[in-house]
Amino acid sequence: MVNTENILTDSYGRHHNYLRISLTEKCNLRCTYCMPANGVQLTPKAELMTSDEVYEIVSLFVKHGVTKIRLTGGEPFLRKDIAVIIEKLSQLPVELAITTNGVLIDRYIDVLKKFGITKINLSLDTLVQSKFKHITLRDQFVKTYQAIQLLLKESFELKINVVLIKNFNEDELIDFVELTKYLPVKIRFIEFMPFDGNQWNVEKLVSLEEIMQQLNAHYNPSEIVKLIDEKNDTAKNYKIESYKGSFAVISSVSNPFCDTCNRIRLTANGSLKNCLFSSTETSLLQQFRDGKSIEPIIEKVMKRKHRVRGGMDSLAKLKEPALHSQNRSMITIGG
């Protein structure tokens, strides 16, 4: 084990400088891989972090080395004080980014530009309107696609997140890549991951290997250019030669990237998760409200982080529902 004094460095020597903050458990879409069919039990408002608490707790993480913050949900733009939160966090020496479904983002373009948020991740799992309604249970495809056009017009750095699910949208893989021919976007294909209530099983998985097989069958392999991945990148990055944009694969299931993980998550009710896959979490908020130091708690949580996927270090363990059904639903963790 590696000994270190930094409270955001785990027992395997991984330093965590990227904090993802869920601002709300609510969403205006009901994507089936994210929200259970019967919904989720929402945390009472009084038990959620206020805008001041978000700022003060996050400031402690920044003090210990966090340099990037991503705001997530649920849908973060459903949070009525999101503009206040963005303004507060913009005062910190960090890179701010946001993940959204895009439905409400047109109302906040000026806020994002004013406070320097230029990087947007937008979720879109299909280019077919009827399939969009099927997976989100809402008829918001046009609004979402308009958001993409608006963000590109306003020169935001846009990534489009596509969760691939077998027998639903893997046949659209090439259509998504073709968007990069004329649009300066990055398409990110994300393997379907197991969370409570999302009916995951390995048969629905479209793996990195299957994705690359489909791409190599459609394009001349010499046209598929492997890009240099950034340090701590979760994605394997590519582009089609001469295309404006690029694409990537996030293979959390079939080819995990845990050795270089630098991410931690703060839920809307102030709990710290040291891994997306972890079924355990620790509340910081009550201790903070009691006026006690939360830094020893943060250090303890980081030191017990597993080396791989919350302890699920094999596909066999991922297939075992008892090991992942105790985790939160994705909607209450944050994208």
Number of domains present in the structure of the chain: 1
Average pLDDT, the chain: 89
In a domain, 195, yes or no: yes
pLDDT band at 277 (very low <50, low <70, confident <90, very high): confident
The answer as to whether 6 is a domain residue is no
Q: What is the pLDDT of residue 234?
A: 85
Q: Which two tokens stand for residue 214?
A: 């489909």
Q: CA-CA-CA-CA torsion for 142, 122, 99, 139, nearest 10 degrees? A: 30
Question: Of 89, 71, 90, which is closest to residue 22 (Cα–Cα)?
Answer: 71
Does residue 186 belong to any structural domain of this protein?
A: yes
Q: Which of 189, 36, 213 is nearest to 123 (CA)?
A: 189
What proportion of the chain, given as a percentage, has pLDDT over 70?
Answer: 87
Does 318 have pLDDT greater than 70? no
Task: Examine residue 2 and state whether it is found in any structural domain, yes or no.
Answer: no
235: CATH:
3.20.20.70
User: What residue numbers bound the domain in which 158 lies?
Assistant: 18-333
Query: Residues of 244-274 as b/e, b for ≥16 C-beta within 10 angstroms?
Result: ebbbbbbbbbbebbbeebbbbbbbbbbbbbb
Is the residue at 152 inside a domain?
A: yes
Q: Is residue 173 one of the residues assigned to a domain?
A: yes
Report the range out of 23-37, 196-210, 267-281 with the highest average pLDDT.
267-281
Extract the tokens encoding 182. 């004329």
What per-residue confidence (pLDDT) applies to 4? 45
Q: Is the pLDDT at 45 greater than 60, yes or no?
A: yes
Model confidence band, residue 232 (pLDDT cutoffs 50, 70, 90) = confident
Contacts of residue 68, defined as CB under 8 A and 6 or more positions apart, other chains included, come to 17, 18, 19, 94, 95, 97
Asked whether the beta carbons of 310 and 194 are under 8 A apart, the reply is no
User: How many Å apart are CA 292 and CA 260, to the nearest integer?
Assistant: 32
pLDDT band (50, 70, 90) for residue 333: low
Question: DSSP secondary structure string, 275-289?
Answer: -TT-S--EE-HHHHH
In a domain, 77, yes or no: yes
Helix (H, G, I), strand (E, B) or coil at 163: strand
62-66, 68-72, 193-197: least confident range = 193-197
Whether residue 245 is contained in a domain is answered as: yes
- pLDDT at position 178 over 50: yes
